[in-house]
Structure 1
Amino acid sequence: MEVTIDKNSGYCFGVEFAIQMAEDELEGENTLYCLGDIVHNDMEVRRLYEKGLRIIDRDELKELRDCKVLIRAHGEPPETYQLALKNNIELIDASCPVVLKLQNRVKHSYDKMQEVKGQVVIYGQKGHAEVVGLTGQTNKEAIVVTTPEDLKAVDFSRPVTLYSQTTKSTKGFYDIKERIEEQLKAQRGGELTVMDFNANDSICRQVSNREPQLSRFSQQHDVIVFVSGKKSSNGKALYSVCRQQNEKSYFIENESELEPSWFNGTKSVGICGATSTPMWLMERVAKHIKGMAAETQPAY
């Protein structure tokens, strides 16, 4: 049985940058705090915990003084920086440059929408760290939509500026865009101006490019094993791409979840993962699958 790891899977630049910053800081510190999971992968979080990285939430941040706190790739809202100044906390800012640029764009659009009584709509996962940072640029007034049903919160008699969380599905974004466009046109009885509706595809290209790559990869193998943390929004989106192309696609967090029956009569297994999946974990899964195959080889 041939086992192949997708060379395009694994950490995106932003996640890799944040983890490297954490490891660099931990070389000279016994403890480094991180606001939220540094990456949506429990295996990697545990590895870094052993090095001294301690995950905290926003309530715990309020109690800290005179220490260092890492801002992960997802970015943070303005109030986090204000609190850090107040409590003499040194922030190690590992916000992804793509996310920071998007925050600036959202803030600019929010200011413009204020002038025309418009709305900023963000296609994303409610409560996701990146989305919290983005809505923070709008005084928490942005409308977050995850499904078409969420569009009932939008007032289509007013202008709309649309953005997307950087790790969401491209297909999902354009579906939401079309639905908003249709309802705005219905309200106005005709064509829309840029002021009526401004849609911005702000999905990270390093993420969106993985969809066609994974689509091809999934077709090339009998079985697909997708490795990702269950909390990863990007993981859910990319796994759905695999499932669309190959019904024998399985989602696991680590090698302990592998089932031998998945590989009966299989000649080719493809292993892939999310932008938050470390390569060392996919390699471990590959090694385990090869070991399972060796155990089931008939003895002669």
Structure 2
Amino acid sequence: MVKASSQQPSVLIEIDSKSGFCFGVSRAVKLAESEMQKGSALASLGDIVHNDEEINRLKQMGMQSVSLSNAGAIQEDTVLFRAHGEPPSSYDAMRQAGKKVVDATCPVVLKLQQRVRDAWQQLRLEGGQLVIYGKQGHAEVIGLVGQTNGEALVVQTEFDLALIDKSKPTVLFAQTTMSYEGLERMEAAIRNQLVPGVAFHTHKTICAQVGNRVPHLKVFAANYDVIFFVGGEHSSNGKVLFTVCEKVNPRTFYISSLTDINENMLTPRPQKIGVCGATSTPQWLMEQVADKLRVMLGLA
């Protein structure tokens, strides 16, 4: 453990005020807590958030994570749909299973689902195609594709452009948590691929609260000697934002739990430490990381 002596200067440890749960995740967690406080036996359809520490906290309160493929075996009477959103088939499955649904779909995602559905219905009349820039298999993308009866094309890299018919009118949407830069690159690549004169329109549907974190974190990471990025082991958003910090500040460490922190990370002794996290990182966990760092540095 790094010990402080009387000659050692104090260390500034600050938590990024714009990190942590986005609005949609925060709302979903509050809905889950409220439902359990009523005494309801609650199951989340999939992990409510990509953070094991938060999942364990909610599990201790009584919430279980369940799979749609095992819907018939769900024992809980109430099922929560997480912020990512669900396709229409999930609502049908819960209705058939006789479950009460607490719909915690983020309002931004819910609006996007409606826009995708409306655009797809119009494109069917025009013989066009709907493209979603997003991560294949991601829960939000599954929900969006479900609005199109499974007909939407999902592209994540330029290698996926082979899926697109060059001669068809095309409308492009984006998963809400993708990057602005990535959407701009994909939009340009699709435009260059289509036959000249073919109608093409892009809906810039990235959530501003999430998208704006990239430029913010670039500034934040540059202002500290060491950055501790707190994120779940399986958080794709966390890995992306961590990379943003690491490119600016090579002395950036990815932390999923308090046990990941070791004294080598604090050698040489820093003067300024920044703590930040993903959209799925709870505030309480970032605070625990900051507290442990204070103890390790002899500040508490």
Quick one: which amino acid aligns to residue 100 of structure 1? L
Instruction: Quote the offset at 1:236 in angstroms.
Output: 2.2
Q: Which residue is 1:33 aligned to?
A: 43
Quick one: which amino acid aligns to residue 205 of structure 2? S
Aligned equivalents of 1:66, 1:222: Cα separation in 2: 48
Asked if the contact 1:66/1:90 (under 8 Å) is kept, the reply is no
Instruction: Please give the per-residue CA displacement for 1:61-85, whole angstroms capped at 9, x wherever unaligned.
Output: 2334781101111111001111222
Asked if the contact 2:229/2:253 (under 8 Å) is kept, the reply is yes
Q: Which residue is 1:208 aligned to?
A: 211
Q: TM-score, normalised to structure 2's length?
A: 0.92
Q: Which residue is 2:241 aligned to?
A: 238
Q: Which residue is 1:131 aligned to?
A: 141
Two-structure CA RMSD over aligned residues (Å)? 1.7
Q: Percent identity?
A: 43
Q: 1:5 is matched with which residue: 15, 30, 50? A: 15
Q: 2:187 is matched with which residue: 163, 167, 177? A: 177
Q: Which residue is 1:286 aligned to?
A: 290
Quick one: which amino acid aligns to residue 238 of structure 1? L
Q: TM-score, normalised to structure 1's length?
A: 0.92
Mapping for residues 150-229 of structure 1, pairs under 5 Å: 150-184=160-194, 187-188=195-196, 192=197, 196-229=199-232
SS in 2 for 1:270: strand
Quick one: which amino acid aligns to residue 124 of structure 2? Q
Instruction: Quote the offset at 1:231 in angstroms.
Output: 2.0
Instruction: Please give the per-residue CA displacement for 1:221-271, whole angstroms capped at 9, x wherever unaligned.
Output: 111111111222221222222122212222121121123222222211111
SS in 1 for 2:147: helix
Asked if the contact 1:68/1:92 (under 8 Å) is kept, the reply is yes
Aligned equivalents of 2:204, 2:246: Cα separation in 1: 24
Structure 1 residue runs of 4 or more that deviate by more than 6 Å after TM superposition: none
Whether 2:104 is the aligned partner of 1:104: answer no
Q: Which residue is 1:298 aligned to?
A: none
Aligned equivalents of 1:201, 1:99: Cα separation in 2: 13
Q: Which residue is 1:113 aligned to?
A: 123
Give the number of equivalent residue pairs.
289
Q: Give structure 1 stretches of 5+ with no counterpart.
A: 296-300
Asked if the contact 1:12/1:276 (under 8 Å) is kept, the reply is yes
| Structure-2 change in CA distance of 1:71 and 1:27 (3 Å) | same
Instruction: Quote the offset at 1:197 in angstroms.
Output: 0.8
Instruction: Please give the per-residue CA displacement for 1:46-72, whole angstroms capped at 9, x wherever unaligned.
Output: 000001001001112233478110111
Asked if the contact 1:168/1:237 (under 8 Å) is kept, the reply is no
Aligned equivalents of 2:204, 2:228: Cα separation in 1: 29
Instruction: Please give the per-residue CA displacement for 1:147-190, whole angstroms capped at 9, x wherever unaligned.
Output: 22111211222121111111111111111111111112xx22xx
Q: Which residue is 1:92 aligned to?
A: 102
SS in 2 for 1:158: coil
Q: Give structure 2 stretches of 5+ with no counterpart.
A: 1-10
